[in-house]
Structure 1
Amino acid sequence: MTAPEDLALYVHWPFCVSKCPYCDFNSHVRAEVDQAAWRDALLADLRHEVALLPGRRLRSVFFGGGTPSLMPPATVAAVLDAAVAAWTPAGDLEVTLEANPSSVEAARFADLARVGVNRVSLGMQSLDDDALRFLGRAHDAREGLAALDVAQRVFPRVSFDLIYALPGQAMRAWKAELARALAFGTEHLSLYQLTIEPGTRFATEAAAGRIVIPDGDTAADLFELTRAMTAAAGLPAYETSNHARPGAESRHNLAYWRYRDYAGIGPGAHGRRGRLATTRRRKPENWLTAVSRNGHGIEREDPLDPHTRAVEALLMGLRLTEGIDLDRIARLAGGEAPVDSRAVALLERQGLLARNGAHLRVTDAGALLLDGILGAVVRAQTAVAV
């Protein structure tokens, strides 16, 4: 008997206490939230996906946002129970919830663990109070560390995020902060360089010259330091910005990067349902109205042609340290993999790519230039055999 195909479920909770100036995620501040209405709507949106994805094995569930630690544990439980009842849960089902490290949200951690959350991802962002104020965070370093302590006592698996390459951040300061972060002993760290995203308050500040992020050489030095320190501590990079002990990688995020199917419910959630890309309505009120009217919050369902699927798998997979299987990419393409072999050969000679038969990966040196490498290796659709 063939085993059911693995599936990941993403649940988007769009609400935050405040909007951070660097954030371009689908997050919204609302004075009041009708919790019962939101629970019912999420369950309806989930039922729609269940009907279209029958007989799957549920490998991971990820509650993202926004700030899903603001969700009532009863809502988390209702969604989890419905998902597990509809699909076949993996024996080691990973259930992740993103949380802000505030004392109010930490008070809910035990209840969230009781309803099935077994992995938490804390948005610490910094261990320095000045940096936290600059980033517009509502917590200070002491409150964040207290929440981390609670999380480590309550959840079997803990990760937290830090943002570096801040304006004026010296190498020695980041080295000290990262060393402190590694000393807490979590199994996973997500370490992101600050980027100025269009439409954010930081974009306005940067355009006016009031924010200047480190130049390319400085950012590269910080990136290399980060990789060296995490590897030495036993948490090597397994993706561009994610570091974990072997075996502690985020299974949910690996589903994205390995280009597996995933269902996405809630405002603005994306999904991949075989050869179809799904997109939910972004604005919370519009999504609620759509669910009430249609039984789901879908705004678009876009067919994915073989070339597009192959390119998406290529671009996502090369973010991973493990790299990609070009034979699988070719199968997705329905013929030849959309890879520029001359560009690959040149990048190999430069030490930026490594190829072994059908296996292709970006080297440590190449990770510094990932965006340029991705742009170079993808071959135009007109050159793909059909």
Structure 2
Amino acid sequence: MTPGLAPLGLYIHWPFCARICPYCDFNVYRARGETDTLLAAMLRDLEGQARQLEREGMHRPLVSLHFGGGTPSLMRPDQIAALIEAADRWFGFEDGIEIGLEANPKEAAGFADIVAAGVNRLSLGVQSFDDDVLRRLGRDHDGNSARRALDTLLALDVRHSADLIYAWAGQSLDDWVAEMDALLGAGVRHVSPYQLTIEPGTAFGKRADRGELLIVDEDEGARFFEVTQSVLSDGGVPAYEISNHAASASDQSRHNRLYWEGADWLGLGPGAHGRWGESGRGGRRATAALRRPADYIARVSLAGTGLEPIEILSSKDEAAERILMGLRTMDGLDRDCLRAKTSHDIDTDTSLDFARQGLVSLSQDRIALTPAGRLYADRIAQELVPE
């Protein structure tokens, strides 16, 4: 890694899905027709961003590359390979780079081809093994296809993860434990369990606005969260971040750690966001690409990049982001790093108050949430941002 610069990752957003899930508020569109025009725009955008970092003196090799979406497992292997090759050509890869991709169980027949294209970590969107639950969640796969996809994934020589969704209205704790036990019994080494949330503007959001009960209440949600931590930890897959559990440090998501640790990443593709730089090097840059694929393609054609004008974050806004993300990990927030990057520290009086309540563990150089504090992570982070 280049001395003095944070690790650099690349997030690639493929915005197309075969079906749009009713709980999803990501930038997604129904997959239709030809996609090579978008691929060509993304390749040109990648070149433009590489040249931008060169001009800023912040160009360096990538430590991670992650395909998200949308459903990037809908991409053809040659499209995946083209983006990986271009990323290597324009940036270079650090030894041991993680190249991850989020996969739908329905595309399991193509997993080996995805790996052959250069991917070395697959994240499988299992969500549930129960057919009724999958229908309720609007998924386009069933329990048997989830099991077959998991078997296919575990037979490949790649690092892996599996996602589950829980805390939907009517779910019992016994049923939830059975879902987790199924993953643990299969030998999954990384689990990402997500509580179902209702986002405005989604199909679930509109149903909730009409009074439909779709998720458990706050107290029951807390109980589900506590059981999740206990079952997965006892099963040898403890939490290293609030919604992510790994059997060992080598099984952790290296790309996601860039977000939580306040490192740098570029966003490529419609609606993708990026962050790079810091207050002491001209400011932390916040990038966002145009959301609609047609608009993104047109912007790249005109300007050589699909990005909106780059925003320079204030040192306080940068500190707020670093506090919010850093507190999500079990290691907690490195206060020395926060002060060095932003010239800000956490709010001292508030942190002492949270420590007295048993919600955080606190030292001069680090603050971390306790198990009790993890239930209130976002609120605690917001209140720790200095005035």
TM range (shorter): over 0.9
Partner Cα separation in structure 2 for residue 121 and residue 179 of structure 1 = 18
Give how far 1:106 is off.
1.3
The residue type equivalent to 1:324 in the other structure is L
Moved segments of 4+, more than 6 Å: none
CA contact (8 A) 2:319 2:385 kept: no
1:257 to 260, 266, 286: 260
What per-residue deviation string (whole Å, max 9, x for no partner) do you get for residues 323-346 of structure 1?
011121112223x41x22111111
Matched, 1:101 2:111: no
Partner Cα separation in structure 1 for residue 2 and residue 159 of structure 2 = 31
Q: TM-score scaled by structure 1? A: 0.94
The 3 A distance-change label for structure 1 pair 18 and 212 is closer
Residue in structure 1 matched with residue 190 of structure 2 by the alignment: 188
Partner Cα separation in structure 1 for residue 200 and residue 157 of structure 2 = 35
Matched, 1:56 2:60: yes
Matched, 1:304 2:313: yes
The residue type equivalent to 2:38 in the other structure is W
- Report which stretch shifted further, 253-262 or 167-176: 167-176
What per-residue deviation string (whole Å, max 9, x for no partner) do you get for residues 24-83 of structure 1?
011100321x23212211110110111122441210000000000011111110110111
CA RMSD of aligned residues (A): 1.4
Give how far 1:130 is off.
0.5
Residue in structure 2 matched with residue 149 of structure 1 by the alignment: 151
The residue type equivalent to 1:101 in the other structure is P
Residue in structure 2 matched with residue 43 of structure 1 by the alignment: 43
The 3 A distance-change label for structure 1 pair 86 and 5 is farther
Residue in structure 2 matched with residue 323 of structure 1 by the alignment: 332
1:276 aligned counterpart, secondary structure? strand
Give how far 1:308 is off.
1.4
The residue type equivalent to 2:40 in the other structure is D
Instruction: Give the alignment of 1:157-196 within 5 angstroms.
Output: 157-196=159-198
1:354 aligned counterpart, secondary structure? strand
Matched, 1:116 2:118: yes
CA contact (8 A) 1:307 1:332 kept: no
Residue in structure 1 matched with residue 14 of structure 2 by the alignment: 13
What per-residue deviation string (whole Å, max 9, x for no partner) do you get for residues 285-332 of structure 1?
111111111111112311112221112111110011110111211122
Gap regions ≥5 residues in structure 1: 381-386
Residue in structure 2 matched with residue 383 of structure 1 by the alignment: none
Instruction: Give the alignment of 1:1-386 within 5 angstroms.
Output: 3=3, 5-32=6-33, 34-54=34-54, 55-102=59-106, 105-247=107-249, 248-274=251-277, 275-334=284-343, 336-337=344-345, 339-380=346-387
CA contact (8 A) 2:324 2:378 kept: no
CA contact (8 A) 1:309 1:333 kept: yes
The 3 A distance-change label for structure 1 pair 70 and 155 is farther
2:51 aligned counterpart, secondary structure? helix
CA contact (8 A) 1:45 1:291 kept: yes
The 3 A distance-change label for structure 1 pair 170 and 53 is same
What per-residue deviation string (whole Å, max 9, x for no partner) do you get for residues 257-287 of structure 1?
1011101100000001212100000011111
Aligned residues, how many? 375
What per-residue deviation string (whole Å, max 9, x for no partner) do you get for residues 181-215 of structure 1?
21111111110000000100101111212234111
1:63 aligned counterpart, secondary structure? strand
Q: TM-score scaled by structure 2? A: 0.94
Give identity over the alignment, percent: 44
1:313 aligned counterpart, secondary structure? helix
What per-residue deviation string (whole Å, max 9, x for no partner) do you get for residues 140-176 of structure 1?
0101111111111124111111000011111111112
Partner Cα separation in structure 2 for residue 155 and residue 94 of structure 1 = 14
Gap regions ≥5 residues in structure 2: 278-283
